Amino acid sequence: EFVRDNLTSKGMVADWVYHDKDGNPHIHLMTALRPLTEEGFGPKKVPVLGEDGEPLRVVTPDRPNGKIVYKLWAGDKETIKAWKIAWAETANRHLALAGHEIRLDGRSYAEQGLDGIAQKHLGPEKAALARKGIAMYFAPADLARRQEMADRLLAEPELLLKQLGNERSTFDERDIARALHRYVDDPVDFANIRARLMASDDLVLLKPQQVDAETGKAKQPAVFTTREMLRLEYAMARSAEVLSRRKGFGVSNARAAAAVRSIETADTEKPFRLDPEQVDAVRHVTRDNAIAAVVGLAGAGKSTLLAAARVAWEGEGRRVIGAALAGKAAEGLEDSSGIRSRTLASWELAWENGREQLNRGDVLVIDEAGMVSSQQMARILKAVEDAGAKAVLVGDAMQLQPIEAGAAFRAITERIGFAELAGVRRQRDAWARDASRLFARGKVEEGLDAYAQQGRIVETETRAEIVDRIVADWAN
């Protein structure tokens, strides 16, 4: 998925191989430095294009007509940074799908504010031994480095809390011990740093340990978070409330109704009508407030209402842009609603480098908002607030929880309210709509049972046969 979304979809030839040596799964990836074109491989260097689509030129005394600015087609250091973030997003999405809360961060330790906490790479052999719990003996230089890290954590144990907070929203004492064990071997240092961590003002107890009254043993460990995470979620909630009170984004009922009609009749051969629920949602997101939310199941018609809202906003002269956590979701948003979309990380990187800044009056639509972490949501809402723009959050709070810390979408909708799409519109039959609701709520077996009862599950002996069957059914 990563290779397709970031490399081959852009014309880059990529050769990759998966290895899993001694429990150390990893990928080797090799790419071409030239674009693949209809005539063969293109040039390594390509002109940098301006906003008008023409090559950028730099005027010099010896080049009065301007010298064309070129860049490496395969990318540079900034491209590598973008790929690191894209890989983290792709991996995190699949960690979430597999039910894991832990996440990857595509930023360097320095960019995360954890400069100095990096450890020396052990290599696959030592790493495999460490996973098996086998005692390892380090060379004097390695021992010195590990002792230096232990001294650093003794002086500043909050560094470890910050790293834990970047990886997960809440954690218990076992998580703290595992994180500490990455850096510290000496049992005395381990106990001292752990004690200082547990006494730190930056550690916040969310839920005390639950003890079995009969046996006296712990049933559930104590749950903690960091003070920084609490501050961040407070800031996110504050931004949402500020935006909900800010006015100036209203679209008249007449313009909204005209936008709805234009979407309904866009295909003259297949006109249709939006349900009253969808029309209400269009009116909800085009109200005066600088933030709005729509909650609905997959297939409930969110894309169609966003297409109508886009027409209404653009009719007011507003720039409408879209964002989602994953590249595929951003593409889906653009294809279905006509809103120019990119990943959230891509927008953040562009803003950080002074490009395509949010402007006053812009509308930013965030799809799959239920997957966005508190940390990222806080940054995005602050950017919207500072720019004088509007945020529209779209998602399903019943679906996947966010892959980073905190249930941001749910927390925001509880504060600002939302429009809800309860009906499923992708399926015509009532039983199929009911099955979609079951799938959306994670009741996969019950959803499949509904299809089986209707005789809608087909089995074949080989993959080729099922592909032939799918194509034949589609052709019919």
Which is more confidently placed, 71 or 268? 71
Instruction: Please tell me the distance from the alpha carbon of residue 379 to that of residue 366, in angstroms, as a whole number.
Output: 13
pLDDT at 116: 52
How do residues 407-458 score in pLDDT, each as one tens digit?
A: 788 888 888 888 888 766 667 788 988 888 788 667 889 999 999 999 999 8
Nearest CA-CA partner of 172 in 234, 118, 101: 101
Mean pLDDT, the chain, whole residue set: 83
- With residue 387 as reference, give the H or E element that holds it: helix 374-387
Which one has a higher pLDDT value, 185 or 312? 312
Whether the predicted pLDDT of 43 surpasses 50: yes
Q: Identify the band that residue 403 occupies on the pLDDT scale cut at 50, 70 and 90.
A: very low
Enumerate helices (H) and strands (E) in the chain, giving the number of each. Answer: 18, 18
Interatomic CA distance for residues 246 and 235, integer angstroms? 16
Q: Rounded to whole angstroms, how far apart are CA atoms 386 and 366?
A: 17
In 3D, which of 459, 438, 456 has the Cα closest to residue 447? 438
pLDDT tens sequence across 293-310: 998 866 667 888 999 999
**Is 390 a residue whose pLDDT tops 50?**
yes
Report the pLDDT value the prediction gives residue 338, as an integer from 0 to 100. 93
* Alpha helices for 124-271 (secondary structure H): 124-131, 140-155, 158-167, 173-181, 187-198, 227-245, 253-264
Mean pLDDT is lowest, of 51-55, 130-134, 343-347, for 130-134
Residue ranges of domains in the chain, CATH in brackets = 2-80 (no CATH), 112-221 (no CATH), 230-421 (3.40.50.300), 430-475 (no CATH)
CB 421 within 8 Å of CB 297:
yes
Taking 80 as the threshold, does the pLDDT of residue 65 lie above it?
no
Burial of 141 per CB tally in 10 Å (0-12, 13-18, 19+): exposed
> At 234, phi and psi to the nearest 5?
-65, -45
Q: Tell me the two tokens of residue 393.
A: 């959050």
Question: Tell me: the pLDDT tens digits for 223-267?
Answer: 888 888 888 888 999 999 999 999 999 999 899 999 999 988 887
Does pLDDT of 406 surpass 60? no
Contact 19, 26 (CB under 8 A): yes
pLDDT band of 142, cuts 50, 70, 90: low
Q: Is the dihedral of CA 422, 423, 425, 431 positive or negative?
A: positive
Could you tell me which of 403, 334, 410 has the C-alpha nearest to residue 371?
Answer: 403
Whether pTM > 0.85 for this model: the answer is no
Among 35-49, 70-84, 105-119, 322-336, the least confident range:
105-119
Q: What is the C-alpha separation between 234 and 210, in angstroms, rounded?
A: 27
Residues near 280 by beta carbon (within 8 Å), at least 6 away in sequence: 419
Residues in the chain: 476
User: What is the pLDDT, as a whole number, of residue 287?
Assistant: 93
* DSSP code string of 411-444: HHHHHH--EEE-S--S-SSHHHHHHHHHHHTT-H
- Read off the tokens for 70: 């070129």
Residue 316: other Cβ atoms inside 10 A: 15
pLDDT per residue as tens digits for the range 310-362: 999 999 999 999 999 888 888 889 998 999 999 898 899 889 888 889 999 99
Q: Is the pLDDT of residue 122 over 60?
A: no
Confidence of residue 178 (pLDDT cuts 50, 70, 90): confident
pLDDT at 119 exceeding the cut of 50: yes
Give me the percent of the chain exceeding a pLDDT of 70. Answer: 88
Determine the pLDDT at residue 115: 57
Q: Which residues contact 312 (CB under 8 A, 6 or more apart)?
A: 251, 255, 256, 258, 259, 282, 286
